[in-house]
Amino acid sequence: MKRTPPTRRSFLSLAGSAAVAGAVPVVTLRPLEATPAMLTSAIRNVVGEAPVRTGKVKLDIPPLVENGNTVPMTVRVESPMTSTEYVKSIHVFNEKNPQPNIGNFYIGPSAGRAQISTRIRLADTQKVVAIARLSDDSFWSTSVDIVVTLAACTEEVN
C-alpha cells in the first residue's frame, strides 16, 4: 500500500479535530471519576494520620485487562500470623472508578494466612492500591498500574 507522508496542513487539521473529539469525553466523564484527591482522602479515612509505608503487601492483578467488568485480584500480606503479630485488615482502593473504594477485608490471627481473593470492576486504565493494617497498627501498601481495554460501570443498560 502506498502512503503519502502527511503534509503540515493535513497534520495540523488532524491534530485539531483530535483535540476537539478528545475534549468532549473528558468533560462528560470527569464527574464519574474518582480523582487522585478522592483516592487520597479515601485512604486517609482508613489510615487516619498514620504513615503508610511501601512493602509487605503483594497485589496480584493482571497488568493488562480486556474486560474491566470482572478482574481477578489477590492481595497477600507478609506476616507470621501469630496471636501477637498478624494482619488486622486489608483495604483496596482505585484511582478512576466513580468511587475510590473497592473493598475492606477484615481478617485476624485465626486466618493463618493473610491472603484474600475477589473479582473487581475497573472503569479505566488506572492504579489500584492495597493497604494492610498490621496488629501493631502500622500500615503497609503497594500499588499496581493496570491497563483496561473495555471499561466497566458506566456503560448503558440494555
Q: Which residues bind other proteins (CB under 8 A)?
A: 32, 69-71, 94, 97-99, 101-108, 110-122, 152-158
Type of residue numbered 55: G
Cell of 136: 501493631
Least separation in angstroms between residue 75's CB and other proteins is 10
**Residue 121: what are its φ and ψ, rounded to 5°?**
-110, 140
Nearer to other proteins, 7 or 28 (CB): 28
Least separation in angstroms between residue 156's CB and other proteins is 5
Least separation in angstroms between residue 107's CB and other proteins is 6
Least separation in angstroms between residue 119's CB and other proteins is 4
Nearer to other proteins, 6 or 80 (CB): 80
Torsion 51-103-56-77 (CA) sign:
positive
Nearer to other proteins, 17 or 104 (CB): 104
Nearer to other proteins, 111 or 144 (CB): 111
Largest distance between two CA atoms of the chain: 71
CA dist 152 → 19, 29, 56, 125, 156 (Å): 25, 13, 30, 11, 10
**Residue 16: what are its φ and ψ, rounded to 5°?**
-65, -45
